[in-house]
């Protein structure tokens, strides 16, 4: 049997179909939908247009899963729906229109599932992780099978783009404003860090690694704070090679990559992080193991 995991994010909705063979999962299908749900949030509630966009996207995904056949359907959401004031209404409409139940993860559940994915990718039993989403950023200090401390920042790559960026790539003044916003958010929290290395989960950190690798010939799965600093400085100075590389490496993230990069750099500098490692696995793999496979 195959397992369809649907990750409903603030910017994108992703369908990944896993095949389980000899207790190992294999990604056999991966498709991303840019729904931009956060752009439909008004006064904390998802608008009618936003609900319709969510339903249309899930309907398309469900058709693909049904065509593949012999596949369970497992949609979940994190901050994209968790923080909505009309969350219950949204879930009810999706259920009525599509007969789909969306599993909305708590902040702690999201942190634990992210850790499971990381343990598959790294041979470690403790550390610090970051997951930069469209509407929020999760920072987790973890030990084996347990999130010892976690921090939710109400800032995300798409949210900051929508609020502060006038064109596509932020101007120098806009970058400075975003940095101050991120610094204000994290400095308001009582979060103590004892690690020099940060493990990044999700598309934003992976995209940063790919851009740095392309520009500096580095391993895309490991880069430093200094390299992030140089990258951000080049963006501020409108360096053509840097801008072209960002567009070439991940054109679908042109508008959100730089705000996400600013979040990553500012958090790392504040927490005295020297190195960033990139995980190819995270919440989706954790959800598959903890909620779907162990739940059956």
Evaluate if residue 56 carries a pLDDT over 90.
yes
> In this model, does residue 295 exceed pLDDT 70?
no
Report whether pLDDT(199) > 70. Answer: yes
Backbone angles phi, psi at 137, to 5 degrees: -130, 130
Give the confidence band of 209 by pLDDT, cuts at 50, 70, 90. very high
Q: Which part of the chain is CATH 3.30.420.150?
A: 108-278
pLDDT at 114 over 90: no
Closest CA to 151 of 204, 206, 103, 114: 114
Average pLDDT of 247-265? Answer: 93
Per-residue pLDDT band for 145 (boundaries 50, 70, 90) equals: low
Q: Tell how far CA 83 is from the center of its chain.
A: 15
Residue 169 has pLDDT above 70, yes or no: yes
Instruction: pLDDT band for 124, please (50, 70, 90 cuts).
Output: confident
pLDDT tens string 80-111? 999 899 999 999 999 999 999 999 999 888 88
pLDDT of residue 146: 66
Our CA angle for 295, 122, 133, nearest 5°, is 70
Judge whether residue 229 has pLDDT over 70. yes
Helix, strand or coil, per DSSP, at residue 1: coil
Q: What is the mean pLDDT of residues 206-230?
A: 95
pLDDT confidence band for 237 (50 / 70 / 90)? very high
Burial class (CB in 10 A: 0-12, 13-18, 19+), 237: exposed
pLDDT tops 70 at residue 141: yes
Where in the chain is CATH 3.30.420.40? 2-104
Is 108-278 in CATH node 3.30.420.150? Answer: yes
CATH class of the domain comprising 2-104? alpha beta
Q: Residue 288: pLDDT band by 50, 70, 90 thresholds?
A: very high
């Amino acid at each position: 049997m195959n397992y369809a995991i649907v990750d409903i994010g603030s910017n994108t909705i992703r369908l990944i179909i896993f095949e389980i063979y000899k207790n190992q999962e294999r990604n056999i299908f991966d498709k991303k939908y840019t729904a931009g749900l956060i752009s439909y949030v008004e006064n904390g509630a998802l608008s009618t247009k936003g609900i319709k966009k969510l339903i249309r996207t899930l309907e398309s995904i469900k058709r693909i899963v049904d065509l593949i056949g012999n596949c369970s359907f497992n949609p979940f959401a994190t901050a994209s729906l968790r923080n909505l004031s009309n969350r219950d209404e949204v879930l009810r409409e999706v259920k009525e229109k599509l007969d789909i139940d969306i599993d909305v993860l708590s902040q702690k559940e999201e942190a634990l599932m992210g850790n499971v994915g990381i343990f598959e990718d790294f041979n470690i039993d403790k550390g610090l992780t970051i997951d930069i989403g469209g509407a929020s950023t999760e920072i987790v200090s973890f030990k084996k099978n347990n999130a010892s401390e976690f921090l939710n920042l109400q800032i995300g790559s798409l949210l900051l783009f929508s609020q502060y960026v006038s064109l596509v790539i932020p101007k120098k003044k806009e970058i400075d404003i975003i940095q101050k916003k991120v610094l204000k958010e994290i400095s308001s929290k009582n979060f103590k860090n004892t690690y020099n290395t940060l493990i990044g989960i999700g598309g934003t950190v992976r995209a940063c690694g790919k851009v740095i690798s392309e520009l500096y010939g580095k391993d895309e799965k490991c880069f430093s704070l200094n390299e992030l600093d140089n990258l951000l400085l080049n963006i501020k100075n409108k360096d053509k090679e840097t801008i072209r590389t960002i567009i070439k490496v991940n054109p679908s993230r042109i508008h959100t990559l730089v705000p996400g990069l600013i979040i990553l750099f500012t958090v790392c500098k504040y927490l005295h992080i020297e190195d960033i490692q990139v995980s190819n696995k995270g919440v989706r793999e954790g959800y598959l193991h903890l909620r779907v496979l162990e739940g059956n």
